[in-house]
Amino acid sequence: MITLTDVHKAFGSNKVLQGVNLHIARGESMVIIGGSGTGKSVALKSVLGLIKPDSGKIEVDGQDIDRAERDAFLARFGMLFQGGALFDSLPVWQNVAFRLMRGSLKRPNSEAREIAIEKLRRVGLKPEVADLFPSELSGGMQKRVGLARAIAAEPEIIFFDEPTTGLDPIMAGVINELIREIVVEMGATAMTITHDMTSVRAIADKVAMLHDGVIKWTGPVADMDDSGDPYLDQFIHGRAEGPIEAVR
Amino acid sequence: MINTLTSPLAALGRQILGMLAIVGKIAMFAFDTLTHLIRPPFYWREFGIQLIHIGWLSLPVVGLTTLFTGGALALQIYAGGARFNAESVVPSIVAIGMVRELGPVLAGLMVAARVASSIAAEIGTMKVTEQIDALVTLSTHPMKYLTLPRVLAATLAMPILVAVGDAIGIMGGYFVGISRLDFNSAAYLKNTVDFLELWDVSSGMIKGAAFGFIVATMGCFYGMNSGRGAQGVGSATKTAVVAASILILATNYLLTELFFSA
């Protein structure tokens, strides 16, 4: 469904992606792991067209993303941002229903609000939260609202950018469970980037390890512990010693 | 030796090239904003909100500024005019000075301080917290949703702010004239009305529209191009206000040349 072929991206002299090759099948939950600054977010944002790669090809359902009609293309995606990225000036329900209140998916406000409340309920939030503003919510609640917004228009593909960063272990577990449930329930294709190994085991069907701008290893999550790949091994066990240089 | 002599010139050249590059980027940004005027969708609700934020909520600041300036202007013209027995020109000079120059420039500078900073800080924060990226993923063009409503609202609201500021400024001069300078109320008002021409007022309002466009464009441009973190947003905010203020003063000179040079 999503294919990245020899994708390169540099920011000045900093070569972030140096030939990324990756394929995510329809309905699969792919988790990309790797250290901070290895280009996980750049890879994800390149698929959405938020960052333009220097070279290489990115295809969704065999169609080059540069040739796709932008609105129709983006309508297939939902995304949960690392910090939630909720719009401060709008109440929670309008954040969730944002896509349903404008553009090709526009519907009456009352209907959009109903859908927003239903999605909030799906992520474990009460209807009273709908009229609050993002600044009145805790970090965990903001993540849930972000998740509700990502699924509001029932997208085919959902991206999760560091979904558990900044959350306590219990809330992180709740978010992981929600993500897994929603992806299975909707039959969506998911791409998650994280360095939280608990998340990886909870969310992933397949795992890809990004290091030095390339995918070092990819395979089913069940094979991760016996991969024999020294990079993956060092990363998943959090060892300071190994081929990945730890800056002290 | 040659290197020592030429290196300051090279540094100066780099600065000038850098500045020209920014001018080019701002021009392209402004042009891009205007092209969205003729490409749907247009977000009316955002436009309405910005009209209130930029126009209505700037009224107290503009009103107070022009009120005190009108009063001070009356005192200065009276004191200056007394040197050649021309105290009677106070009403007409206050009126012409306010509507042609001080009204639009002061309103422009005050709105630059209030609005350019707020727009740059808001959009800059949205950028660093990935809200702009979120807009894109929600199939909403940031230029249409954030920039165009602000630029259009500022361009349309500023002439009205200038007109209100002009009236309050003239009123400030009038109050000082009748209470401190012993002018007759009816004579002061008659002198003000008799000497003012429609072009005096409308030229100031045209200036206001240009200043409104500059203020919102600078706020949006520097917000959209804000650096990371609190320092990046702070720097974008400061630069937006400074750039808007300088551009307002430069544009004011150019428009005055265009409108009033012999």
Q: What pLDDT does residue A247 have? A: 60
Is position B10 within any domain? no
Q: Which amino acid is at B97?
A: G
- The domain tally of chain B equals 1
Q: Is residue B12 part of a domain?
A: no
Query: Residue B7: inside a domain, yes or no?
Result: no
The runs of H, that is alpha helices, within chain A are 40-48, 70-74, 92-96, 109-122, 139-151, 169-186, 197-203, 230-237
- A99 vs B43: CB contact, 8 Å cut-off? no
State the DSSP code for B228.
S
In chain A, the percentage of residues whose pLDDT exceeds 90 is 62
Verify whether the Cβ–Cβ distance A50 to B137 is below 8 Å. Answer: yes
pLDDT the model gives residue B219 = 97
- Regions of chain B short of the pLDDT cut 50: none
**A122, burial (CB in 10 Å: exposed 0-12, middle 13-18, buried 19+):** middle
Residues of B with Cβ-Cβ distance to A82 under 8 angstroms: 130
Asked if residue B105 lies in contact with residue A43, where contact means CB atoms within 8 angstroms, the answer is no
Question: Could you read off the pLDDT of A115-145 as tens digits, one per residue?
Answer: 999 999 988 899 999 999 999 999 889 999 9
Percent of chain B that is helix, strand, coil (3-state, to 5):
90, 0, 10
Between positions 122 and 181 of B, the ones with CB within 8 A of A are: 125-126, 129-131, 133-134, 136-140
Of B41, B129, B131, the CB nearest to A102: B41
Nearest-Cα residue of chain A relative to residue B127 = A85
CA proximity to B172, closest of B72, B61, B60: B72
Query: Does the CB of B52 have a partner CB in chain A at under 8 Å?
Result: no
Q: Which of B125, B134, B139 sits opposite A75 (nearest CB)?
A: B139
> Has residue B164 been placed in a domain?
yes
Residues A140 and A163: their CA atoms lie apart, in Å, by 10
Quote the domain boundaries for residue B138: 44-260
Residue A177 near residue A144, CB atoms below 8 Å: no
Question: Considering the domain boundaries, does residue B157 fall inside one?
Answer: yes
For residue B25, which of B233, B206, B243 has the smallest C-alpha distance?
B243
Q: Residue B130 and residue A45: Cβ atoms within 8 Å?
A: no
**B130, A87: Cβ pair inside 8 Å?**
no
* Closest alpha carbon to B152 in B46, B225, B240, B58: B46
Give the mean pLDDT of chain A.
Answer: 91
Chain A: give the shortest CA distance to residue B133, in Å: 7
**pLDDT at residue A195 in the model:** 86
d(CA B235, CA B244): 14
Q: From B136, which residue of chain A is nearest by alpha-carbon distance? A: A50
Q: Is residue B35 situated within a structural domain?
A: no
Write the single-letter amino acid at B166.
D
Is residue B9 in some structural domain? Answer: no
Q: How far is A243 from chain B (nearest CA, A)?
A: 31
* Interchain CB distance below 8 Å, B133 and A83: no
Question: Please, are residues A89 and B118 in contact by the beta-carbon 8 Å criterion?
Answer: no
CA pair distance A123, B227, nearest whole angstrom: 34
- Domain membership flag for residue B33: no
Q: Give the SS3 label for residue A161.
A: strand
Q: Are strands A214-220 and A2-11 parallel, antiparallel or unpaired?
A: unpaired
Rg of chain B's alpha carbons, rounded to an integer? 22
Distance from first CA to last CA of chain B, Å, rounded?
Answer: 51
Q: Which pLDDT score, from 0 to 100, does residue B105 have?
A: 97
Q: Which residues contact A17 (CB under 8 A, 6 or more apart)?
A: A7, A8, A9, A10, A39, A42, A43, A46, A53, A56, A213
Res A248: pLDDT: 57
Tell me the pLDDT of chain A (248 aa) as tens digits.
899 999 999 999 999 999 999 999 999 999 999 988 889 999 999 999 999 999 999 999 988 998 888 888 888 999 999 889 999 999 999 999 999 998 888 889 999 999 999 999 988 899 999 999 999 999 889 999 999 999 998 899 999 999 988 888 888 888 899 889 888 988 999 999 998 899 999 999 999 999 999 999 999 999 998 888 888 999 888 888 888 876 65
Of B201, B196, B140, the C-alpha closest to B165 is B201
Q: Could you please report the per-residue DSSP string of B121-150?
A: HHHHHHHHTTHHHHHHHTT--HIIIIIHHH
At residue A104, φ and ψ (nearest 5 deg) are: -70, -20
Over its C-alpha atoms, chain A yields an Rg (Å, rounded) of 18
- Both structure tokens of B164: 């209100």
Q: Which amino acid is at B84?
A: F
Which residue(s) pair with A161 in the sheet? A193
Task: Provide, for chain A, the percentages of residues in helix, strand and coil under a 3-state DSSP scheme, each rounded to the nearest 5.
Answer: 40, 25, 35
DSSP A247: P
Under 8 Å CB-to-CB from A140, ≥6 apart: which residues? A167, A168, A171, A174, A175
Distance between CA atoms of residues B113 and B217, nearest Å = 14
